[in-house]
Copies of this chain bind each other. A is one copy, B any other.
Amino acid sequence: MQTDEIIRLMSEAGLRITDQRKTLAKLFADSPGYLSPKDVYDHMGRYYTGLSFDTVYRNLRVMDELGVLEQVMFEEGVKFKAHCREAHHHHHLICLHCGKTYPLTLCPMDMTEIPEEFKVVKHKFEVFGYCKDCTGEAEAAAAGSDG
């Protein structure tokens, strides 16, 4: 989603467009991957000296509830990114180093047989690894872990 669209949606929802929210909208519009609350706080902190974590959290929550952001649980905790506006339901490749995501058109639900008695509510399909730009980091991580 574009900065303008995020802001428009927030404004239409009756939210006030503060400087912080403009910066937040731009941050997520420009960011190709998932951001943790701390990532967001660090980025925002460059522009707002008195910035506090609770405001970051409040805005992330508001934007998540409004649907302009989507929230995903990683092992390291919650992360956010701008909601995908593509009409087509899809999943993602997610880079463990830079957080960048790449769409996967295939949805496994189309070919998964679910027993009739089981009432499906939602599903999760995510592929984690290292993208082109970060394959160097893959070896570093392998060397570092479990040494």
Interface residues of A in 67-97 (CB under 8 A from B): 73-75, 93, 95-96
Task: Using A106-B108, A124-B124 as known contacts, say yes or no to A93 and B113 having CB atoms under 8 A apart.
Answer: no
Complex-state Cα separation, A113 to B135, whole angstroms: 18
A/B interface sample: 20 pairs, CB < 8 A: A95-B118, A102-B115, A102-B118, A106-B108, A106-B112, A108-B108, A108-B112, A111-B111, A114-B127, A115-B132, A117-B135, A118-B129, A119-B130, A119-B138, A120-B127, A120-B129, A123-B125, A123-B126, A123-B128, A124-B125
A binding-site residues for B, Cβ under 8 Å: 73-75, 93, 95-96, 102, 104, 106, 108-109, 111-115, 117-132, 135, 138
